[in-house]
């Protein structure tokens, strides 16, 4: 009985922290401190389920593995999973994935975007320090859940060798969210010099005719900048 009360007390505390953090992020759009509140709150919120279902974790030679890194390995990116498993990025992504799924109301939208942007920034920073396999990152984008697709875009932002025309075009043409499309447009602009002429033309054609891009102020601005770039 005591154990049950303790686990659900953790969950209740987490719910309060998530609610406070999300409201403050929406209200002030401030930085890492509030993001930490949201992430810690999410971890506490989900802790009863982690305690009740310890199969989300497995023991390996390096210690505990998150379900997320096991999923990444199963999707065909074992080297990427190993890198993520020894960094805080996997834990951040796991927490964000929970928040993304559970906080579906419109009032949480700005907070979720803020956290997703941070996920992309952290992924880019990691890719500048660690050597990821390009084929694994592209496979991860093609087969993974929305959270991991955005993480893959972040990795491509950090390391030019990971990005390719087909992935960038796919993220713009068939995104899982508006922010994924925005991140893909930023990636296209960033990696424009390394894209082939055919993919430059295809991306420009896509952004010129895409109704969703035209509907978003930030995405439309990026699209205009891309359309002004040379094809050849």
pLDDT tens across 46-76, in order? 444 443 433 344 444 343 346 778 889 999 9
Structure tokens at 89: 């990025």
- Each residue's pLDDT tens digit, 194-212: 999 999 999 999 999 899 9
Torsion of CA 71, 77, 83, 85, to 10 degrees: 10
For the segment 165-190, the average pLDDT, to the nearest whole number, is 95
For residues 78 and 54, which has the higher predicted lDDT (pLDDT)? Answer: 78
Each domain of the chain, given as residue ranges in start order, spans 2-134, 163-232
Q: What percent of the chain has pLDDT over 70?
A: 72
- Each residue's pLDDT tens digit, 23-46: 454 444 444 455 554 454 554 444
Alpha carbon distance 127, 158 (integer Å): 5
Q: For residue 179, is pLDDT > 60?
A: yes
Count of helix runs (H) and strand runs (E) in the chain = 13, 2
Q: For residue 182, is pLDDT > 90?
A: yes
Q: Where are the beta strands (DSSP E) in 61-161?
A: 63-65
Q: How confident is the model at residue 102 (pLDDT cuts 50, 70, 90)?
A: confident
Structure tokens at 176: 């899982």
Q: How confident is the model at residue 123 (pLDDT cuts 50, 70, 90)?
A: very high
Alpha carbon distance 69, 118 (integer Å): 19
Torsion of CA 13, 14, 20, 26, to 10 degrees: -170
Q: Give the residue carrying structure tokens 């005719």.
A: 209
CB-side neighbour CA atoms (13 Å) of 224:
8
Alpha carbon distance 51, 141 (integer Å): 30
DSSP 49-72: HHHH-GGG-EEETTEEE-HHHHHH
Q: For residue 98, is pLDDT > 80?
A: no
State the DSSP code for 204.
Answer: H
Torsion of CA 54, 56, 60, 63, to 10 degrees: -70
Q: For residue 216, is pLDDT > 70?
A: yes
Task: Give the three-state DSSP class for 53.
Answer: coil
Residues constituting the chain: 232
For residues 111 and 228, which has the higher predicted lDDT (pLDDT)? Answer: 228
pLDDT at position 168:
97
Q: How confident is the model at residue 229 (pLDDT cuts 50, 70, 90)?
A: very high
For the segment 73-85, the average pLDDT, to the nearest whole number, is 92
Under 8 Å between Cβ of 183 and 212: no
Q: For residue 187, is pLDDT > 80?
A: yes
Compute φ and ψ for 64, nearest 5 degrees.
-90, 140
For residues 51 and 143, which has the higher predicted lDDT (pLDDT)? Answer: 143
């Amino acid at each position: 009985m005591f154990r049950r009360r303790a686990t659900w007390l953790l969950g209740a505390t987490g719910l309060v922290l998530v609610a406070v953090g999300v409201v403050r992020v929406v209200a002030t759009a401030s930085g890492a401190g509030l993001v930490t509140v949201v992430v810690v709150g999410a971890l506490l919120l989900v802790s009863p389920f982690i305690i009740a279902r310890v199969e989300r974790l497995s023991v390996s030679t390096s210690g505990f593995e998150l379900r997320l890194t096991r999923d990444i390995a199963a999707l065909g990116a074992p080297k990427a999973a190993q890198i993520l498993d020894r960094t805080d990025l996997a834990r951040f992504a796991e927490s964000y994935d929970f928040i993304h799924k559970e906080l579906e109301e419109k009032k949480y939208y700005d907070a979720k975007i803020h956290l997703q942007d941070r996920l992309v920034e952290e992924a880019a920073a990691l890719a500048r320090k660690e050597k990821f396999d390009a084929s694994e990152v592209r496979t991860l984008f093609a087969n993974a859940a929305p959270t991991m697709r955005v993480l893959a875009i972040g990795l491509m932002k950090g390391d030019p060798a990971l990005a390719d025309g087909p992935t960038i075009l796919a993220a713009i043409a068939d995104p899982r969210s508006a922010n994924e499309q925005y991140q893909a447009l930023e990636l296209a602009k960033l990696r424009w010099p390394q894209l082939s002429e055919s993919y430059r033309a295809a991306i420009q054609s896509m952004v010129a005719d895409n109704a969703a891009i035209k509907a978003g102020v930030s995405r439309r601005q990026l699209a205009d900048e891309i359309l002004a770039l040379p094809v050849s």
